[in-house]
Amino acid sequence: MINKAIFLDRDGTLIKDRGYICRFKEVEIFSFSVEAIKKLNENRYRVIVITNQSSIARGICSEDQILGIHREITAYFKYRGAIIDRFYYSPYLEDAKIENFRKKHDSRKPAPGMILQAEKDFKINLKKSFMIGDSSRDIIAGKKAGCQTVLVLTGNGKMACQELKRQNLKPDFIAENLLDAVEKISYSTKDKS
Protein backbone atom coordinates (compact mmCIF):
# COMPACT_ATOMS: atom_id res chain seq x y z
CA MET A 1 0.00 0.00 0.00
CA ILE A 2 1.28 3.47 -0.88
CA ASN A 3 1.16 5.61 2.27
CA LYS A 4 3.29 8.61 1.29
CA ALA A 5 2.21 11.47 -0.93
CA ILE A 6 3.39 14.43 -2.89
CA PHE A 7 0.86 17.23 -2.52
CA LEU A 8 1.10 19.63 -5.45
CA ASP A 9 -0.23 23.10 -5.98
CA ARG A 10 -1.89 23.44 -9.41
CA ASP A 11 -1.30 26.90 -10.92
CA GLY A 12 2.35 27.92 -11.11
CA THR A 13 3.55 24.43 -10.10
CA LEU A 14 1.92 21.73 -12.26
CA ILE A 15 0.56 24.10 -14.92
CA LYS A 16 1.34 27.70 -15.83
CA ASP A 17 -0.45 30.32 -13.78
CA ARG A 18 -2.69 32.05 -16.32
CA GLY A 19 -5.07 33.69 -13.86
CA TYR A 20 -8.62 32.41 -13.55
CA ILE A 21 -9.18 29.66 -16.10
CA CYS A 22 -12.51 27.92 -16.67
CA ARG A 23 -11.75 25.66 -19.66
CA PHE A 24 -9.14 23.02 -20.37
CA LYS A 25 -8.16 24.80 -23.61
CA GLU A 26 -6.81 27.63 -21.39
CA VAL A 27 -4.54 25.21 -19.48
CA GLU A 28 -0.83 25.27 -20.33
CA ILE A 29 0.98 22.32 -18.79
CA PHE A 30 4.67 22.85 -18.02
CA SER A 31 6.91 20.82 -20.36
CA PHE A 32 8.56 19.05 -17.39
CA SER A 33 5.38 18.10 -15.50
CA VAL A 34 4.67 14.72 -17.14
CA GLU A 35 8.21 13.49 -16.47
CA ALA A 36 8.02 14.75 -12.88
CA ILE A 37 4.74 12.90 -12.20
CA LYS A 38 6.09 9.71 -13.81
CA LYS A 39 9.11 9.84 -11.47
CA LEU A 40 6.83 10.28 -8.46
CA ASN A 41 4.77 7.28 -9.61
CA GLU A 42 7.97 5.22 -10.00
CA ASN A 43 9.06 6.24 -6.49
CA ARG A 44 5.69 5.05 -5.12
CA TYR A 45 4.23 8.38 -4.04
CA ARG A 46 0.57 9.21 -4.28
CA VAL A 47 0.24 12.36 -6.40
CA ILE A 48 -2.44 14.65 -5.01
CA VAL A 49 -3.18 18.15 -6.27
CA ILE A 50 -4.22 20.67 -3.58
CA THR A 51 -5.58 23.90 -5.07
CA ASN A 52 -7.47 27.02 -3.98
CA GLN A 53 -10.10 27.82 -6.61
CA SER A 54 -11.65 31.13 -5.57
CA SER A 55 -12.83 31.65 -9.16
CA ILE A 56 -15.88 29.64 -8.06
CA ALA A 57 -16.58 31.93 -5.08
CA ARG A 58 -16.01 34.98 -7.29
CA GLY A 59 -18.59 33.79 -9.83
CA ILE A 60 -15.98 33.58 -12.62
CA CYS A 61 -16.08 29.79 -13.12
CA SER A 62 -18.67 27.21 -12.11
CA GLU A 63 -17.79 24.23 -9.93
CA ASP A 64 -18.58 21.97 -12.90
CA GLN A 65 -16.05 23.85 -15.05
CA ILE A 66 -13.30 23.39 -12.44
CA LEU A 67 -14.16 19.69 -12.07
CA GLY A 68 -14.05 19.41 -15.88
CA ILE A 69 -10.57 20.97 -16.03
CA HIS A 70 -9.36 18.55 -13.36
CA ARG A 71 -10.78 15.54 -15.23
CA GLU A 72 -9.09 16.71 -18.45
CA ILE A 73 -5.73 17.32 -16.74
CA THR A 74 -5.92 13.85 -15.13
CA ALA A 75 -6.68 12.28 -18.52
CA TYR A 76 -3.88 14.26 -20.23
CA PHE A 77 -1.32 12.89 -17.76
CA LYS A 78 -2.75 9.35 -17.72
CA TYR A 79 -2.57 9.17 -21.54
CA ARG A 80 1.16 9.94 -21.21
CA GLY A 81 1.71 7.30 -18.50
CA ALA A 82 1.66 9.62 -15.49
CA ILE A 83 -0.94 9.13 -12.75
CA ILE A 84 -2.48 11.90 -10.65
CA ASP A 85 -4.43 10.20 -7.86
CA ARG A 86 -6.82 13.04 -7.03
CA PHE A 87 -7.53 16.76 -7.13
CA TYR A 88 -8.77 18.54 -4.00
CA TYR A 89 -9.94 22.12 -4.40
CA SER A 90 -11.24 24.81 -2.08
CA PRO A 91 -13.91 27.08 -3.62
CA TYR A 92 -14.27 29.30 -0.52
CA LEU A 93 -13.48 32.97 0.03
CA GLU A 94 -14.45 35.20 2.95
CA ASP A 95 -15.65 38.03 0.69
CA ALA A 96 -17.11 35.78 -2.02
CA LYS A 97 -19.60 37.08 -4.54
CA ILE A 98 -21.45 33.72 -4.42
CA GLU A 99 -23.09 33.41 -1.00
CA ASN A 100 -22.74 29.60 -0.68
CA PHE A 101 -18.95 29.97 -0.77
CA ARG A 102 -18.67 33.11 1.41
CA LYS A 103 -16.91 31.81 4.50
CA LYS A 104 -13.55 31.28 6.12
CA HIS A 105 -12.94 27.59 5.54
CA ASP A 106 -10.21 25.29 6.83
CA SER A 107 -9.76 23.81 3.34
CA ARG A 108 -8.44 27.09 1.91
CA LYS A 109 -4.64 27.29 1.94
CA PRO A 110 -2.73 28.35 4.02
CA ALA A 111 -5.01 26.22 6.24
CA PRO A 112 -4.10 22.52 5.90
CA GLY A 113 -7.66 21.16 5.51
CA MET A 114 -7.27 19.66 2.02
CA ILE A 115 -4.04 17.88 3.01
CA LEU A 116 -5.66 16.53 6.19
CA GLN A 117 -8.67 15.31 4.19
CA ALA A 118 -6.34 13.50 1.75
CA GLU A 119 -4.47 12.02 4.74
CA LYS A 120 -7.75 10.43 5.90
CA ASP A 121 -8.91 9.38 2.42
CA PHE A 122 -5.64 7.70 1.46
CA LYS A 123 -4.18 6.82 4.92
CA ILE A 124 -1.14 9.00 4.23
CA ASN A 125 1.85 9.24 6.54
CA LEU A 126 2.38 13.02 6.46
CA LYS A 127 5.90 12.78 7.92
CA LYS A 128 6.96 10.88 4.76
CA SER A 129 5.12 13.33 2.50
CA PHE A 130 5.91 16.64 0.79
CA MET A 131 3.93 19.72 -0.22
CA ILE A 132 5.27 21.39 -3.38
CA GLY A 133 4.07 24.83 -4.43
CA ASP A 134 4.97 28.29 -5.68
CA SER A 135 3.42 30.40 -2.91
CA SER A 136 3.89 31.03 0.79
CA ARG A 137 0.35 29.63 1.29
CA ASP A 138 1.52 26.25 -0.03
CA ILE A 139 4.54 26.15 2.28
CA ILE A 140 2.52 27.23 5.33
CA ALA A 141 -0.22 24.66 4.62
CA GLY A 142 2.38 21.92 4.23
CA LYS A 143 4.13 22.86 7.47
CA LYS A 144 0.83 23.07 9.39
CA ALA A 145 -0.05 19.57 8.14
CA GLY A 146 3.34 18.17 9.21
CA CYS A 147 4.76 17.62 5.71
CA GLN A 148 8.16 18.55 4.38
CA THR A 149 7.91 21.44 1.92
CA VAL A 150 9.41 22.47 -1.40
CA LEU A 151 9.06 25.94 -2.90
CA VAL A 152 9.34 26.01 -6.70
CA LEU A 153 10.51 29.18 -8.44
CA THR A 154 8.02 28.86 -11.29
CA GLY A 155 4.79 30.86 -10.99
CA ASN A 156 5.02 33.17 -7.97
CA GLY A 157 7.95 31.33 -6.40
CA LYS A 158 10.46 34.18 -6.44
CA MET A 159 7.98 36.53 -4.77
CA ALA A 160 7.08 33.81 -2.25
CA CYS A 161 10.77 33.56 -1.25
CA GLN A 162 10.62 37.17 -0.07
CA GLU A 163 7.28 36.68 1.73
CA LEU A 164 8.59 33.62 3.57
CA LYS A 165 11.75 35.48 4.64
CA ARG A 166 9.61 38.28 6.08
CA GLN A 167 7.60 35.68 8.01
CA ASN A 168 10.81 33.94 9.12
CA LEU A 169 9.71 30.68 7.46
CA LYS A 170 11.84 28.36 5.36
CA PRO A 171 10.77 25.57 3.05
CA ASP A 172 12.80 22.38 3.40
CA PHE A 173 13.96 22.82 -0.21
CA ILE A 174 13.85 25.45 -2.95
CA ALA A 175 13.72 24.10 -6.52
CA GLU A 176 13.75 25.64 -9.98
CA ASN A 177 10.60 23.77 -11.02
CA LEU A 178 8.54 20.65 -10.32
CA LEU A 179 11.01 18.25 -11.94
CA ASP A 180 13.90 19.76 -9.95
CA ALA A 181 11.75 19.44 -6.80
CA VAL A 182 11.13 15.73 -7.52
CA GLU A 183 14.87 15.16 -8.03
CA LYS A 184 15.69 16.93 -4.74
CA ILE A 185 13.08 14.83 -2.89
CA SER A 186 14.38 11.64 -4.50
CA TYR A 187 17.95 12.48 -3.49
CA SER A 188 16.99 13.48 0.08
CA THR A 189 15.01 10.30 0.73
CA LYS A 190 17.41 7.88 -1.02
CA ASP A 191 19.22 6.91 2.17
CA LYS A 192 16.04 6.71 4.27
CA SER A 193 14.17 4.06 2.29
Q: Is the dihedral of CA 61, 63, 66, 68 positive or negative?
A: negative
Q: Where are the alpha helices (DSSP H) in 92-193?
A: 113-122, 136-145, 157-166, 178-189
User: Does 11 participate in catalysis according to the annotation?
Assistant: yes
The answer to whether 152 touches 175, Cβ cutoff 8 Å, is yes
Q: Which of 9, 134, 138, 180 is catalytic?
A: 9
Question: Which pTM value belongs to this model?
Answer: 0.96
Name the catalytic one among 11, 134, 138, 180: 11
What's the pLDDT tens digit per position in 93-112?
999 999 999 999 999 999 99
Contact 189, 181 (CB under 8 A): no
What is the amino acid identity at position 126? Answer: L
**185/30 Cα distance (integer angstroms):** 19
> Counting runs of H as helices and runs of E as strands, what totals does the chain give?
7, 6
Cα distance from N-terminal residue to C-terminal residue, the chain: 15
pLDDT of residue 192: 57
Task: Please name each of the domains of the chain with its CATH number.
Answer: 5-154+172-184 (3.40.50.1000)
pLDDT digits (tens, 9 = 90+) for 50-109: 999 999 999 999 999 999 999 999 999 999 999 999 999 999 999 999 999 999 999 999
Is 134 among the residues known to form the active site?
A: no
| pLDDT at residue 188, rounded to an integer | 87
Percentage of residues in the chain having pLDDT higher than 70 = 98
